[in-house]
């Protein structure tokens, strides 16, 4: 018996304009397969090197504040086995991966400490999923915790039976999240700042924009400067790119 009809279930992710709705729906859908908590991280832009800034990553978590504090704010993700697998790989991996590596003596002391902390927080059985777009360099990672399933073997069975359908749902959620505005606190632009950056992105000069908006040249320069400061970037082109990625302009 199917978990749900794919097209009927995926469509709401792709048509909603309400930012919180896909996250709530994802939990309802995944809970039907036994996955009750979710960690989601998605890069927003391609880097020239492998370094990725937290400001260029969307993070959503229902693992709990204690986990988020040590894993995200405390940067435990930089050494976590499943996170590194998600960055370097594509597909899905059982959380038995960490246990196998530990049993083989292949984990560092820090990796063991991170693993044991996760176990203490009830993150015992689950799956890590990595979705990649190699052309753009975008990476999406999901951690699905099956809190109510008592063994990883049973979780593996659920994943094997429902893998294709669950991947469709995760992909639909990821696409929906990327399309909806994602504006970090403190980076919200004013309507004037958004309009100025949009015209810059269209190739207009400062004088062009002043004429279009009926504003003095110095006012346009002021809006550009304040937009850069608010978004913590060094030039206006970066501000245009960041505002576009966040969905603040060109929507």
Q: What is the pLDDT of residues 122-140, one digit of tens each?
A: 999 999 999 976 655 678 9
The yes-or-no verdict on residue 1 having pLDDT over 50 is no
- What integer pLDDT is reported at residue 11 of this predicted model? 83
- What integer pLDDT is reported at residue 134 of this predicted model? 60
What's the Cα-to-Cα distance from 103 to each of 8, 191, 212, 215, rounded to whole Å?
43, 56, 67, 67
- What integer pLDDT is reported at residue 49 of this predicted model? 46
The residue behind tokens 């777009």 is 133
Query: What DSSP string describes 108-151?
Result: -HHHHHHHHHHHHTT--SEEEEEEEETTTTEEEEEEEE-TT---
Q: Which of 142, 116, 112 is nearest to 130 (CA)?
A: 142
Measure the CA–CA gap between 38 and 142, rounded to whole angstroms: 7
The residue behind tokens 């400490």 is 113
The rounded percent of the chain whose pLDDT value lies above 90 is 66
Mean pLDDT of the chain, nearest integer: 88
Q: State mean pLDDT over 214-229.
A: 95
User: Count of alpha carbons within 13 Å of 50, Cβ hemisphere only?
Assistant: 4
- What integer pLDDT is reported at residue 22 of this predicted model? 93
Beta strand pairing call for 126-133 and 91-94: antiparallel
Residue 17's SS3 state is: coil
- What integer pLDDT is reported at residue 226 of this predicted model? 95
Edge-first strand listing for the sheet containing 126-133: 57-61, 37-43, 138-145, 126-133, 91-94
Please report which confidence band the pLDDT of residue 53 belongs to, taking 50, 70 and 90 as the band edges: low
DSSP state of 203: T
C-beta of residue 155 within 8 angstroms of C-beta of residue 94: yes
- What contacts 179, CB < 8 A, 6 or more positions away? 247
What's the Cα-to-Cα distance from 84 to each of 98, 161, 185, rounded to whole Å?
11, 26, 27
Q: What are 88-103's pLDDT values in tens digits?
A: 899 999 999 999 999 9
């Amino acid at each position: 018996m199917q978990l749900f009809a794919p097209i009927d279930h995926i469509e709401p992710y792709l048509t909603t304009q309400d930012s919180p709705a896909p996250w709530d729906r994802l939990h309802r859908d995944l809970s039907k397969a036994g996955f009750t908590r979710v960690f989601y991280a998605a890069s927003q832009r391609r880097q020239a090197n492998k370094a990725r800034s937290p400001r260029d990553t969307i993070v959503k978590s229902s693992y709990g504040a204690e986990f988020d504090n040590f894993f995200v704010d405390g940067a435990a993700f930089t050494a976590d086995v499943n996170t590194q697998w998600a960055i370097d790989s594509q597909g899905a991996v059982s959380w038995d991966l960490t246990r196998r590596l530990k049993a083989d003596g292949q984990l560092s002391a820090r990796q063991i400490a991170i693993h044991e902390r996760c176990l203490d927080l009830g993150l015992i059985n689950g799956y890590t999923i990595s979705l990649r777009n190699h052309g753009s360099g975008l990476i999406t990672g999901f951690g699905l915790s099956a809190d109510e399933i008592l063994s990883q073997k049973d979780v593996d069975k659920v994943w094997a039976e429902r893998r294709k359908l669950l991947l469709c749902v995760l992909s639909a959620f990821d696409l929906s999240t990327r399309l909806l505005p994602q504006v970090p606190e403190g980076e919200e632009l004013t309507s004037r700042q958004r309009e100025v950056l949009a015209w810059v992105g269209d190739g207009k000069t400062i004088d062009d924009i002043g004429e279009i908006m009926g504003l003095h040249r110095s006012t346009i320069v002021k809006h550009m400067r304040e937009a850069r400061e608010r978004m913590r970037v060094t030039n206006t082109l970066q501000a245009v790119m960041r505002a576009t990625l966040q969905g603040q302009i060109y929507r």
